[in-house]
Chain A
Amino acid sequence: MFGIRRTLLTSLVLITCGFLFAGYAQAADQIELKVSVIHASKAKGKADPALKKIESSLRKAFGGFSSFQQVANQADKLRVGKKLDIKLPNGQNAVVEYKGKAKKHHQLRLTIPTSKVAVDLSVPSRKMFYQAGIKHKNGILVLAFYLKD
């Protein structure tokens, strides 16, 4: 009887720890990546309300443009090796691949296939960066990336 109780208890603890650990293991090699596709132009107008949180940052980085309109918004959880395909309004696409983590920085590869460009980045969690310059309708496309683990 006593042996069965001990076995059951140990199993319960093991199962509990197992579940907790599984959650950790899943979280360790996974990030959440948010991407906003923005059309920046010199047209008169305010920034899209959807971009309110980053409007200040956009105006600092792209001071020559007066209008910022969100065209698309994507978010995905990426494990190591997984890619996020971002469709752009001009028919092109951008691809972000999660390469893993090293020393608190997440490694991403940003590729724009039609331009034959690939950029490897080390990105700390909760840090935003932009890719910009693809021309679109009297303005440019700005891709805003935000990553958190």
Chain B
Amino acid sequence: MLVERYERRAYGIAFGMLRNREDAMDAAQDAFVKVFRNIGSFKGDSSFYTWFYRIVKNVCIDHCRKKSRAKLVEYDETYRRKDEDPGVLKMSGNTRDMQPGVAFEQAELGKVLNEALSRLTENHRSIILLREVEGLSYEEIAETMDCHLGTVMSRLHHARKNLQKVLRPYLDASGSDLSKRAGAGVRKTT
């Protein structure tokens, strides 16, 4: 079913923009409501995902306006969730079964990644997620974000550079995979 197929992606898009789980869940559900109400406006000229993404994005923007507490972060500003104490690492369900040291590392890395994403502008964050997580091509990203191909390349370049600055201490020059650490929680000593 359509909802089952796209609920995770809708939530992922919304969370990427709103950085708050409850708001993202609300926005994702509202987006589906909008999809069902406006399905007649889908004309097939863009991919369904592009059409769907724009709906989710617009719903998120509306949410921001209504709630006026989730900010679209500009570069160099730091956004923190109101319910998150930066001094306390939130342990996810996945980490509870791990050894304490390993779980700690994974939680820390997840926090760092969240922090790194939050530091990006909305455009940079959207584009890096569309490319790295959704796997869209440059052309598809341009269509989804309604911008030129050159803009896509430029934003992607800057997004990666900015992420690199924050994540550099966690990246190993010898080539070990950061993702393994994100998944297994092994800290690489520098």
Contact = CB atoms under 8 A, between A and B. Distances in A.
Interface stretch (A43-51, A58-66, A71-79, A96-104): A58-66
Interface residues of B, number: 4
A88 interface: no
B45 A42 contact: yes
Contacts of A62: 43-45
Nearest to A139: B44
B58 interface: no
A40 interface: yes
Nearest to B51: A64
**Residues of A in contact with B, size category:** 10 to 19
Nearest to A64: B45
Nearest to B42: A64
Contacts, number: 18
B46 interface: yes
B44 A133 contact: yes
Interface string B38-64: 000001111000000000000000000
B51 to A, nearest CB: 10
Contacts of A64: 43-46
Contacts of B46: 64
Contacts of B43: 61-65
Contacts of A61: 43
Contacts of B44: 40, 62, 64-65, 132-133, 140
A132 B44 CA distance: 8
Interface of B: 43-46
13 contacts: A40-B44, A42-B45, A61-B43, A62-B43, A62-B44, A62-B45, A63-B43, A64-B43, A64-B45, A64-B46, A132-B44, A133-B44, A140-B44
Interface of A: 40, 42, 61-65, 132-133, 140
